[in-house]
Amino acid sequence: MDKKYFLTLAAYNSWANNIAIAWLDQVNGRQWEQVVPSSFSSIKQTVIHIASAEKIWIDFWKNIPDPVYLSAEFKGTKNDLVEIWRAASAGLRHFIEEYPEENYTQQVTFRYPRGGEGRMEFWQTFSHIINHSTYHRGQLVTILRQVGFTKFSSIDLATFYRDPHQ
């Protein structure tokens, strides 16, 4: 639980997100919106959820007053969403670069999407968002397969560690 480890996780998250975004560039409009049984109903809805979660945790860490879940109000295009996702992904790494390691045990207050508040230590919230994004990228792979996309490469952590270009 040190800065170097968290920077590595943030770099992994950006790397995996960028690969997933490259897949999305190859998906047509029908595939993007196609309804598929999963936690979220489409590629679009799954990506909105991932980007929204990454963005909202940064807002919680920065104590932004009245942060808004992107998933509650996103009306933009696929390109708009991809740019938001890229920015949030880069924002996770930037936040870790600037955040003092001695603050990793400080409590972070967050709001649940359907109301209510929770508290966890910063290191727990950061670990959570990396795990959360990994989980939903896995779902994204399954949904992409179901709509006919098959041009995948591995995005697991072991592949990242072995990738000399990361």
Annotated binding site for a divalent metal cation: 49, 132, 136
- The contacts of residue 122 (CB under 8 Å, 6+ apart) are 61, 99, 103, 104, 105, 106, 107, 108
| Cα distances (Å, whole numbers) of residue 132 to 53, 124, 161 | 8, 12, 19
Residues 129, 113: Cα–Cα separation, whole Å: 15
In a 3-state reduction of DSSP, which class is residue 31? helix
| Cα distances (Å, whole numbers) of residue 2 to 8, 100, 105 | 10, 10, 11
Which amino acids are annotated as binding site, given as ranges? 49, 132, 136
